[in-house]
Amino acid sequence: MISCLRLCTFLSFWKGHTIIYSVAKGLFVLLVLTGILAAQVKETLAIDFKTYLQGAKAEILRHKKIIQEDPLDAVAYFDLGMAYLALGRHEDEVDAYQEAIKLNPKYAVAHYNLSKAYDLLKDGPNAIKHMLRAQELYSQKRNHTQMRKVQRQLKFLNLKYQGLSSSISMDHQN
């Protein structure tokens, strides 16, 4: 490495250039290479995002086909909701989870995800209502891991929507 630097310095002086010229030339090459690599990475990310979108849209079509074959499949509606989530289509996500819950009212994870979707849509009362229902269902199943997860979400929702949880809890019990 040192001998290479000495050789570069010698050649720079021999050609009438100073060491500063060699350093500047090296930095220029480094900047050009960085620019080329950054452009390739940006192009790769654009291609990957396009691929992601195509995959997510294909997933939606696949779940719709499954639902068409078996319209009473609550899991297919739930999976459709998850596919809509991947594209940020939260209104469609809510519709899919609601359909899953119509088919299976005790579908705890569907209530949980529906609550999260309502929260993304800034619909606090419905978000809290379905999170409370998920808590009730997980409690019946004695699924303590999920119960703790739901309790953390309820605490978050309660803070976010300023005490709606207690009033909704009263309505939910009546």
Residues 117 and 85 in one domain: yes
Whole-structure pTM value: 0.67
Residues 116 and 43 in one domain: no
Residues 149 and 115 in one domain: yes
Residues 153 and 107 in one domain: yes
Residues 33 and 95 in one domain: no
Residues 44 and 127 in one domain: no
Would 116 be classed as within a structural domain? Answer: yes
Would 63 be classed as within a structural domain? Answer: no
Q: What is the pLDDT of residue 14?
A: 46
Residues 114 and 43 in one domain: no
Q: What is the pLDDT of residue 30?
A: 60
Residues 101 and 44 in one domain: no
- Nearest one of 85, 51, 78 to 63, comparing CA atoms: 78
Would 41 be classed as within a structural domain? Answer: yes
Would 168 be classed as within a structural domain? Answer: yes
Tell me which H or E stretch contains 152. helix 144-160
18: tokens are 């100073």
Measured distance CA(10)–CA(13) in Å, rounded: 5
Residues 23 and 88 in one domain: no
Would 61 be classed as within a structural domain? Answer: no
Range of 40's domain?
A: 1-52
CATH number of domain containing 145: 1.25.40.10
Would 170 be classed as within a structural domain? Answer: yes
Would 58 be classed as within a structural domain? Answer: no
Q: What confidence tens digit (pLDDT) does each residue in 53-110 have? A: 899 999 999 999 999 999 999 999 999 999 999 999 999 999 999 999 999 999 999 9
Q: What is the mean pLDDT of the chain?
A: 81
Measured distance CA(3)–CA(7) in Å, rounded: 6
Query: Contact, 120 vs 90, CB < 8 A?
Result: yes
Would 59 be classed as within a structural domain? Answer: no
Q: What is the pLDDT of residue 95?
A: 97
